[in-house]
Amino acid sequence: MTGFIERTRQGVRALVTAVAGAGREPERAAYLVAADTNILASLLGWSGPKKVTKPALMPLLSGRVWRSGAPDRVAGVVALAGGWAGDLALMKPDNIRAGATGFAANHAAYIYLLLNRGARPSITRVAIRAVPLAAATVLAARKAPGLLPVVLGYGGLLATTSVLADDPALINPDDPATYGLGHGGNLFLISDAVLFARETLLTPGTPAACVADATVMGTYTVAQLLLVDGLFSSRSPLT
């Protein structure tokens, strides 16, 4: 329990640091405003603000990547371009396969970046992520067999990002941003788990679906921010 509390405290510190950076980076401030607006609009079922803010999220966050000057920042921009393509695809109904394709590119680039920074998997971390992946596979087999390739293919990439981002070797005690990497990977996993449950179990437009939609966007926007900050911190390896 003590370890969990400490990890949570570190994650909160990383998020506070990320938000505080808005005063120095206009694109970060705009990202936070767009994210908050989208989350609120999702909760209330307002389609207009969602259509305006969602396409702006990843382009705004890519400014943080480019600002870093990191030698592999192009890979970071590619990652967010994949996320942007996935965002656009998921704005259309029943388009989860196309969305997964975009996000597969997002995670492939993240995996490349994490490996470049020294992240490696462990049996324990792999086993933990195998549980939600197995649950999603069972749910897809029962409710949406056509989505099994998405769950197994994209889900494997997503789980790999989460496994690598949670490697303690990535943490720099002098850099709060690196403490957010594991939380970012885990939040991405949670976001897509809720999204899949929403798509397979809930009726669009219902209060439950709106709450799920807001949860998806809340966890997703924080996940992307923490991953980008941790990967492209000035004190991260290769930056």
Check the CA dihedral 10-114-187-133 and report its sign: negative
> What pLDDT sits at residue 235?
54
Q: Which residue has the tokens 């990439």?
A: 157
Q: How far is CA 202 from CA 15, 205, 206, in A?
A: 30, 9, 8
> What pLDDT sits at residue 205?
92
Q: Contact 75/37 with Cβ under 8 angstroms?
A: no
Cβ-proximal residues to 36 (8 Å cutoff; 6+ apart), any chain: none
Q: How is residue 97 written in tokens?
A: 């396969």
> What pLDDT sits at residue 12?
93
Q: Which pTM does this prediction carry?
A: 0.95
User: Could you state, in chain order, the average pLDDT of each consecutive group of 10 residues for the chain (239 residues)?
Assistant: 83 94 94 98 97 98 93 97 98 94 98 98 98 96 94 97 98 95 98 95 95 98 98 70
Axis-axis angle for helices 96-116, 180-201 (nearest 10): 170
> What pLDDT sits at residue 119?
98
Axis-axis angle for helices 73-90, 207-231 (nearest 10): 170
> What pLDDT sits at residue 94?
87
> What pLDDT sits at residue 33?
98
> What pLDDT sits at residue 1?
67
> What pLDDT sits at residue 233?
85
- 130-139 burial, b at 16+ Cβ within 10 Å, e below that, comes to eebbeebbeb
CA–CA distance, 158 with 144 (Å, rounded to integer): 19
Helix, strand, coil percent content, the chain, rounded in steps of 5: 85, 0, 15
